[in-house]
Every structure is written in structure tokens, then in C-alpha cells.
Structure 1
Amino acid sequence: MSIRLYVGNLPKEVERQELQDFFKDAGEMLSVKVITDRKTGKCRGFGFVTVKNDEQADRIIEAYNGNEFKDSQIKIEKALPRKKGKEGSEAPAASSSSGGGGKSSRRSNRSRSSSPSSDSGSAQPDPRWADELAKLKQMLATQTTNS
């Protein structure tokens, strides 16, 4: 079964062949893909490498994660299954990311969407912060009555 690896933090000026040459000592790869911007044709900062099996994927992650590639410290991890988006384009689907650039805006867009309430048309607060919000409201009410 083939395993897809996410390769992040790639420089803007990179070609597929350069990335393939970087991994030449890792063994045979099924495919190497650099994700490019449709308008500029430049790398969007990530790509994918597909290898034959899980063992080879683990070896590549251990050997290459954090290495320098064209003055950038690359990040390699197993990719999550691809999710269908509005555009149908590939998005970085890594298992964990810290500082994934544009990912935070997509994540916040998803969390902002609220289900319609039968009582009112207003947006409901995020339930994860409901207790904190209630405390803040109470503090604000106490401050305004003391003033």
C-alpha cells in the first residue's frame, strides 16, 4: 500500500525534479509533486512524496524531517486523507501542524460557521468558551454597577 508524505516549508522557487533529486538516496519513490499557485506558477510552499510502504515512509521522515533544502528547513510527515474542498484543489493535509501559514484562516472559517438557531437568527458563541464568556459578562456587569 502506498503512503503519501506531506513535505512542507518548501521555498517558492522549486521544481519537481529538484525535490525528487533531494530524496534520491531515500530509495525508489512512486511520485513527487510540488503544489503550485495557479496564477503565478510558483510553489505554494508544500508538496507530496508518495512511497511504496509504511516502513519507507518512516525512514524518510526520520532521515529528512528538519533537513535544509534550498535554505529552508523542511517538514515531513504522513499526509492525512485528502478532503474535498470548494475548488477541488489539493490542500496541505498534514497530521499535525504548528504554524501552517494559510491553514489557520481555513480552520477559523470552519469554526465561525454556526448552525441556525430556532430561537433567533444571531450567531451563537463557541460552546468551548461559553463558561469563560459567562464569567466575563458577570465581571463586566459587576464593574458597571460599581462605577
Structure 2
Amino acid sequence: MPVRLYVGNLPKEPIERQALQEMFAEAGDSITTKVIKDRKTGKCRGFAFVTVPTDEAADEFIEKYNGQPFMDSPIRVEKALPRSKGKGKEDGDQPQSSSEEGATTTVPAPAPTPKAKKSGGGGAKKRGRSQGGGGDQRNNESFQPDPRWAGELAKLKEMLAAQTSNS
């Protein structure tokens, strides 16, 4: 089964697919590359995708090319995360990922929250809310995580703590 790899840290200038394919020529003819470009400018968006035939080939490819210089920048190669369903984004949007010694985890985007209707009126109401206990309640709410993402937030905090203790 083909494996899709994310190639990041590419320069944000015009890059042709052939230039990237030439860099990966040693990997064989069985790989395909796709440079993700900005629709308006035609310049590279800073990443591309490479498809290799097997998991073993993917691991070898990552080991061989991760950190190799391409146009004066070291590229980052890792397994691409599957696209999220229902987002309706174009093919090739950059996956949101965090990499810790080869382990890739998904960082979910926060869900949109419904906006409350603003009541008509002058600044007196706003001033009244900011004085006294009303302002304290609003400040406390900003520090409370959304319960839908609290579990993911805890995981991220653990990963960050592990990362800082390793440094």
C-alpha cells in the first residue's frame, strides 16, 4: 500500500516538481512528488508530498532524506497525517502535527464557538461590566479550557513538559 510522506521546510519561492524529484532520484522511479504551490503567486507554500510504495520504503526514505539540504535549507520528512474529513479544504493543505522523536500526533483545531449577539447601547454598559465583579468573571473564563479540548490540552502539556525536560 502506498505511503504518503510530508516534506517540509522547503523555500517559499518557485520550485518545480522535477527539481525535488531529482533530489530523490536515488530512491528510485517508484516515488511520486507533489509540490504544494500558492494559487495566486505560483510559489511553493513551503511543503510537498512524496508517495512511496511501502512502509519499509517510507522508513528508509525518512532516514535517508530527513535533514538533507535542499536549496540551502534542511528539509523535514515525516509520514503525512490523513486529511480530516468534512473540512472541505483543498488537497495538500499542511497537516497540523507535532513531532517528538519520530512520533507524530494530531493537534485538533479548536471548534468555532457561537457568538453572542451584541446588545445595542453605549459605552456605559461596557464600563459597568468592567468594574466590580463582572470583569473578574470574564477573566476567569478566559483561563478555563473548553471542556471538549481539555483532554487534548492535557496531552499537549505533558508533551511540552517531556520536551523541556529532555532539553
Q: 1:57 aligns to what SS in structure 2?
A: helix
CA gap of 1:89–1:4, structure 2 versus 1, over 3 A, is closer
Which residue type is aligned with residue 4 of structure 2?
Answer: R
Percent sequence identity over matched residues?
53
**Stretches of structure 2 lacking an aligned partner (at least 5 in a row):** 101-106, 116-137, 151-167
CA gap of 1:94–1:35, structure 2 versus 1, over 3 A, is same
Q: Does 1:111 find its partner at 2:113?
A: no
Residue by residue over 1:13-69, the C-alpha shift from the partner in whole angstroms, topping out at 9 and shown as x without a partner, is: 311000000000112334100000011010000000001111111001001101110
User: If the length of structure 1 is used for normalisation, what is the TM-score?
Assistant: 0.66
Structure 2 CA distance for aligned equivalents of residues 92 and 29 of structure 1: 23
Which residue type is aligned with residue 56 of structure 1?
Answer: A
Cα RMSD after superposing both structures:
2.9
Structure 1 CA distance for aligned equivalents of residues 25 and 62 of structure 2: 14
Listed as ranges, the matches of 1:5-16 within 5 Å are 5-13=5-13, 14-16=15-17
Which residue type is aligned with residue 94 of structure 2?
Answer: P
Which residue of structure 2 aligns with residue 90 of structure 1?
Answer: 92
How much does 1:86 deviate? 3.8
Which residue type is aligned with residue 95 of structure 2?
Answer: A
Which residue type is aligned with residue 76 of structure 1?
Answer: V
How much does 1:88 deviate? 2.9
Q: 2:36 aligns to what SS in structure 1?
A: strand
Which residue of structure 1 aligns with residue 52 of structure 2?
Answer: 51
User: If the length of structure 2 is used for normalisation, what is the TM-score?
Assistant: 0.59
**Stretches of structure 1 lacking an aligned partner (at least 5 in a row):** 99-105, 117-121, 129-147
How much does 1:95 deviate? 4.9
How much does 1:97 deviate? 4.4
Indicate the structure whose relative CO is greater, using CA pairs within 8 Å and at least 6 residues apart. Answer: 1
Which residue type is aligned with residue 88 of structure 1?
Answer: E
Asked whether the 8 Å contact 1:77–1:95 carries over to 2, the reply is no
Following TM superposition, the consecutive aligned residue runs of length 4 or more in structure 1 with deviations greater than 6 angstroms are: none
Which residue type is aligned with residue 113 of structure 1?
Answer: P
